[in-house]
Structure 1
Amino acid sequence: MAIEKGDFIKINYTGKFNEGQIFDTTDEQLAKDNGIYNPRGVYGGDVVIVGSGHTIKGLDEDFVGKDVGYNGTVTIAPEMAFGPHNPALVQTVSVTKLKEQLGDQRPYPGMPVELDGRRGVISQVIGRRIRVDLNHALAGKEVEYEYTIVEKIEDKVAKAQGLLSLYTGMPEIEIEVTDDLIRIYTPIELGFNQRWLVSKLTIAGELIDKLGVPNLEYVEKHPYVPETAEVPEATEAPAEDEEAEATEE
């Protein structure tokens, strides 16, 4: 059966630009061989919901009508990929504005920086003036994707796990799904994951909508840590630490 919008599918892909330079892939070894390996990334395939914007528009639209097992290549224009290069997003600032970020380093073209809360790269250094490009690194570029549709996912738990992995970069999170409730046991380390903190409401909304289950709850899971055999000796609290003394009492 052909892939339609709203389907959960697992894909393997490799993205290229400039006639073959690889910028993204689900193949771990290929990522290492091309110097783009991310130790925090999840390799082996991504789960996406077709038509939900989980990948660039040109690739997302190309999935529709294909069958499971399809393997092919699509060339995507900038407008359907990472957008055209916007000159308004290139700003010139004094080196003083970036002094805290630069520290003892000398600015150079290609150096990643942050300007007014947005990530960019230095495109030019002119004396004590720096030109910062806040466009996506691939803005204005035609890209090519070779991809395979590995499977169409029907199991609700697998759907939820795949979507969570896409957003959090964690491959296995414990999940229970009934007709009335999606229960996600979130490991404690997710509390320090900035991407999770800004995405958890979006994830909940997508899962409730796409799985057709009316309720979702997150349960923070804390592992049991056994007491050690030796208990370290208590140190005397500083005299001025009134709060600590009150707690001991």
Structure 2
Amino acid sequence: MPTVLLLGGTGEARRLASVLPPYRVISSLAGRVADPARPAGEVRIGGFGGPAGLAAYLRAERVDAVVDATHPFAARMSANAAEACSATGVPLVVLRRPGFECKPGDDWRRVPSLEAAAAMLPGIAGRIFLTTGRQGLAHFAHLTEQWFLVRCVDPPVPPVPPRLEVVLDRGPFTVDGETELLARYDIGVLVTKDSGGAMTAAKLDAARARGIPVVVVDRPPVPPGVAVVSTVDEVIAWLCAARR
């Protein structure tokens, strides 16, 4: 029975884990969320110790293929996977859902990084809905004049912006709910990563309806030379081809 190491706790990764038998599937979660949604099959939680540690794990578990289904912004893990698979000769495919699509009526301001997003905010609005995750809040901690609404799964830890309100919640979200949230807090600008996916896309529809600008942080590039697909079905087809 082939062994597949499935990296990531995304919705796509959980769906993939549930449909891959007769493979032996090992799902690896980073452990950054206190109560993650657990996929089917074997689960390991925590890091590998860099590319060398991951390569050692691939050899020890006799992994036949690796599927990188991590979050589109998990650049370090993707780089580690590419290096470890190159060192061991284990085939690797990256599953990346399509990014968000800019639609008529949107007012998007694309930036290459969280630092660039923070630098842009003082010139746009004073009340900001920040949906980039709790780990990147340090990039906004120096903004003392702006007020932030932050939504995340677990409570953030310092450094964080001094004027901050936190909403603990997990998607999927609805357009009606997001519209009400923007109105209740009188939000003037939305900041989001281009993570894609239906679970969090409603905020973009709500921002469009209210005429609110959106600062969109672009994705980091996928490591060069790695196969990239965008759907669970494409991963299954790739795995079947890799076995031939």
TM-score category (smaller protein)? under 0.3
Q: Which has the higher strand share?
A: 1
Length-normalised TM-score, structure 2:
0.26
Length-normalised TM-score, structure 1:
0.25
Report which of the two structures shows the higher radius of gyration computed on alpha carbons.
1
